[in-house]
Amino acid sequence: MRIIKLTMNAFMTYKDFTVVDFENMLDHGLYLISGPTGSGKTTLFDAITFALYGEASGSHRHVSYFRSDFADTKDETYVELTFELHQHIYTIKRSPTYYREGYKTPKNANAYLDDGEHMIEGVKEVNAKIKELLGVDVHQFKQIVMIAQGEFTKLIYASSEERERVLRHVFHSESLVVFENLLKEQVKTYKDQFLLSSQALSSRFSMLQLDSAFMEMHQQEFHPSYIQEATLENEKLHDQLQHYQTSYQNAKTSYDQFANLYYQKQQQNLQLSELQQITQQYQTLQNQEKMMASLKHDLDQVTAIKDHQSLLDQYQQIKLSYKQALNQKQKVHKQLETSQKQFEQLEREYQQLEKEKQQKDQLLLDIDNTKQSLEKYQQYHQLLQQYQNQYKQYQSMQNDYQNLQSRYEKLDNRIQRDQENVNRLPRLELELEQNEKNVKDINKKRVMIHELSQFYDEWKSLEDHHYDLSVNYQKKHQKYEDILVKYRHEDELFRRQQAGILASHLKENEPCPVCGSTHHPHLAQLETSVLSSHELENLSQQVEVLNQQQQEAYQEVFQQNEFVQQMKTRIEMLKKQLDIQEELSKEVFIRLLSDIVQVIDEQEKTYQTKYNDVIYLKKIQKNLKQDHLLLQQQNQYLQDMQNQIIDKEKQLSLLHQQYTQLQEEYHLSNEQDISVLLKQQQIQFQQLDQHIHDIENQYHQCQKDISVYTHQLETFSSQIDDLESKQQAYTQRYQAFIDQYFDSEEQFLDYQKRQQSIFNQEKDYQNYIIQKEALGKQKQLLEEKTKDYHMTDLSLEKQQLDALAQKRDETYTQYHETLHVYKQNQETLDQLDKDYHKNQDIFEKYTLYQDLYDYTSGKNPLRMSFERYVLSAYFEQILEFANIELLKMTQGRFALYRKKDVKGVKQQGLDLSVLDYETGMMRDIQSLSGGESFKAALSLALGLSSMIQNYAGGIELNTLFIDEGFGTLDHESIDQALSVLMDLKNDHKTIGIISHVDELKERIDTQIIVEKGQQGSSLHIERG
């Protein structure tokens, strides 16, 4: 990612619209952001991080602070960032949630991302797209790109636990913690299940209903053997159950036999009692016979009324219709008389309408004349308005013509001035080319000095190694000489021992097997301590091995001497090429490199100045062609505008002539007076027209009403005649019905009133008939069935039956209670067996998860959790990258290492120590000085940045920002730190530094100067 431009508005300390153009600083690669404390230097980093991720660069600033305290109510707070990624240009604009004075609700946060082809809107959508594009989240971005104020040494001084939290955010190892917690939850779950299961086994066993002595013996914690013992005890209960079953069967048989005889006698007694009761009920019904006959007569009367109800209804309807027709005829007759009187009045008004119609026609002519006068006035007013508008356009064209003529003259003057500057371009390009050649030559010389310095260091190292090899050879050679002397001595002793053995077997006057002499005056003597032949052979092999070792050591010394001579030759050649006469040393190299760097700085400054001039003149040269074209276009525009002005003058003259002629011809007055007159005439016309229309409508409507009422009167008269004949016919039928069924009309009307109450008694009559018939049949059947029965006293037999039933029930209860206990015990035992197997399955899972949790949570020989074990591997790779930079900054003195064995019981794996190569001792990280701590922190931050980029894979983040931290460094340390940063710059990285250190201001050419004012911060860019 390459940042091109940052735009801020009403953002934190920057009230005004502020633009930082990073495009012009990319050629320099390294720039400084300086300014007083609190001026808003870190705000630039906050703005970049907020634009990308919606957060601040550090951990101490919150999004709620992003709204500038100096901002006006109408000022919009936003940050816009333009950056290049994978050769694509992206622009992201983001605004936070903030409150404004005078508004109750806050302005919601929003974000937009434009890639030139598509626009993405929405905070969540943009956040997801940025994560996809950059390949890192905000925590990783801060570690790779933003080394924020207050967090620079956070990782270097952090405890093992704090360092774990930092690395967890960076490498997203939260899933491993989740995995560990899942194991912990599983352990707790299975432990709880096991305890509950064990308690359930004891509880279920206590539910057994067995002998009390047996249960007392098994009150302790449940044991699997209890199931088998309880099963045997329950079998004893089964044997007892068989005896109870036999007793119950005998008692039940005795009861059933006696109960059959008893219930036969009881049934006879019940039937005799029933007969007596039915006889009484039947006699009661016989007494109600007269009353029921009267009810039957009433029912017949109301039934006749019900059957002739249609006739009665029609009779009443005809009477009602006849009465209504008479009433309607009288009403219509009155309406007809009223309409005739109204018609006489309307007829007189209708005859006067002709005169009013003539007034209406005259008004219509007057309205047409008034409208024509109004149209002429509007035409005059329109021409006058056109004239005024055209005149304004004419004045505007005059002004535009003068402005364009002024710009034309300025452009012509600027083209002449730029052409004079462009004429200097060839000479500057030659000077720039020569300056570039000088810089390359000096850089080549610097590379050769660096190469010579490396050769010199290698030569010193080779000489030291040669000395070590020589010493090693001397030791091995001496060891070889010593063991060779020993071997020769032991070999001599062995030979003498062989002679002594031979001499011990010689006898005087017998020939020697060696020399043949028979006289032996000096016999060889046997040695007391002599090596065996095997031991002598081993000693001989040792001699050969040491001889081989000393020969190999000699060859190493010889080869090393060759290397030393070759390196010395190369050094002499480079010295000759560089024209170095003095003896080489570290001080000589430092002085030569310092001189070279000074010359390079001067040449680069000169080169940059000329380069900027050339770039500027080339831009001017490129723009000159466009300026010439623009000059021609403006000249053409001037001519066109002059012609347009002439045409406009002609149009004005014509319009003035037209509206003057209208005014003189019609003597036009005020438009308002004409409009008022027209409105009055139109109102008068409408009123007169409405009056004529109303009279005509009322006249014709009254005629229609008289015709309608006359027709209705005739119709009602005809209906009354018809209804009168029908009423006579239905009156005769009605009277005939009364005469047939009733003694008088009053009796009919009485029955008609009581009709519903009589019908309500019909059910009682029906029930009486049915009940009487049913009781008669039951009485006859019982009399036939009980003719041979007699009543029996069953009190003594009832006592005997109750005794037998009690004995049956007691044996039944005893048998079934025992059976229930036996079955319940058996079910409990079966369930106990199942529960015990489930309990064992749970216990196996519990122990399995407990072992896994112990191992992943750090209860293992390494004393490391699973997450820390993974993070320690990442940490090792981070330290590898960090040590590359730290060795450069400390000239090979310090290197960072992960402690692999920390005393105590706490977890380990992420503790940090530092190796001091000067003392060869491992030191605690806290023992570093301020400057050394800064170097270690910077290298660790750079190492973490490199590691994350490799970890993320394929991401392109070529920008680094460092906020503070250089104040603890001395002059040499600043050189070393800048050297590392310059190497990063040469790797196509852009590096921004916030610092108050004056030396950095002198060493870094490109600077963003931030200034603090009463109304917020402002900034400008300076280039050295």
Phi, psi of 154 (to 5 degrees): -60, -45
CATH architecture of 1-135+955-1024: 3-Layer(aba) Sandwich (3.40)
pLDDT at 94: 92
* Burial class (CB within 10 angstroms; exposed 0-12, middle 13-18, buried 19+) of 45: buried
Question: Which tokens go with 323?
Answer: 């009465």
**Separation CA 171–CA 162 (nearest Å):** 14
Q: What is the dihedral of CA 802, 806, 807, 810, to 10 degrees?
A: 170
pLDDT at 694: 82
> At residue 24, what is the residue type?
N
**Separation CA 363–CA 688 (nearest Å):** 10
**Separation CA 7–CA 1006 (nearest Å):** 19
Q: Beta strands 30-34 and 990-994: pairing type?
A: parallel
Task: Determine contact, residues 145/960, Cβ cutoff 8 Å.
Answer: yes
Task: Determine contact, residues 431/439, Cβ cutoff 8 Å.
Answer: no
**Separation CA 176–CA 866 (nearest Å):** 7
Task: Give kind and range of the element (H or E) at residue 110.
Answer: strand 110-114
Percent of residues in the chain assigned helix, strand, coil, to nearest 5: 70, 10, 20
Q: What is the CA radius of gyration of the chain?
A: 64
Q: Quote the crossing angle between the two packed helices 795-856 and 225-287, to the nearest 10°.
A: 140
Task: Give the closest residue to 946 by CA, choosing from 858, 869, 884, 1018.
Answer: 884
- C-alpha distances in Å from residue 977, one per residue of 262, 859, 966, 972, 986: 122, 42, 9, 9, 14
**Separation CA 581–CA 587 (nearest Å):** 14
**Separation CA 1009–CA 1023 (nearest Å):** 11
> At residue 441, what is the residue type?
D
DSSP assignments along 959-1023, one per residue: EEEEES-GGG--HHHHHHHHHHHHHHHHTT-EEEEE---HHHHHH--EEEEEEEETTEEEEEEE-
**Separation CA 475–CA 470 (nearest Å):** 9
CB contact set of 1018 (below 8 Å; sequence gap of 6+): 14, 16, 18, 1010, 1011
Q: Give me the residue spans of the domains in the chain.
A: 1-135+955-1024, 294-351+682-759, 371-423+585-668, 440-584
Q: Beta strands 2-9 and 18-21: pairing type?
A: antiparallel
DSSP assignments along 590-648, one per residue: HHHHHHHHHHHHHHHHHHHHHHHHHHHHHHHHHHHHHHHHHHHHHHHHHHHHHHHHHHH
First to last CA, the chain: 26
**Separation CA 915–CA 604 (nearest Å):** 39
The residue written with tokens 């990308």 in the block is 52
pLDDT at 925: 81
pLDDT at 623: 76
CB contact set of 387 (below 8 Å; sequence gap of 6+): 652, 655, 656, 659
CA angle (647, 649, 654) in 5-degree steps: 95
Question: Which tokens go with 1003?
Answer: 């060493």
- C-alpha distances in Å from residue 434, one per residue of 429, 431, 437, 578: 9, 5, 5, 21
Question: Which tokens go with 313?
Answer: 């209804």
CB contact set of 128 (below 8 Å; sequence gap of 6+): none
DSSP 3-state assignment of 30? strand
DSSP 3-state assignment of 456? helix
DSSP 3-state assignment of 78? strand
Point out the residues of the chain with pLDDT beneath 70. Answer: 26-28, 57-64, 143-144, 147-155, 494-495, 497-529, 533, 663-672, 674, 901-909, 951-957, 964-970, 972-973, 976-977, 980, 983-988, 1024
Task: Give the closest residue to 12 by CA, choosing from 83, 59, 64.
Answer: 64
Is the Cα torsion angle 498, 503, 504, 506 positive or negative in sign? Answer: positive
Q: Beta strands 959-963 and 990-994: pairing type?
A: parallel
Beta-bridged to residue 222, according to DSSP, are none
HEC states along 185-205?
A: HHHHHHHHHHHHHHHHHHHHH
Is the model's pTM score more than 0.85?
no
Beta-bridged to residue 94, according to DSSP, are 79, 111
pLDDT digits (tens, 9 = 90+) for 549-585: 888 888 888 888 888 888 888 888 888 888 888 888 8
DSSP assignments along 874-942, one per residue: HHHHHHHHHHHHHHHHTTT-EEEEE-S--SSSS--S--EEEEETTTTEEEEGGGS-HHHHHHHHHHHHH
> At residue 926, what is the residue type?
Q
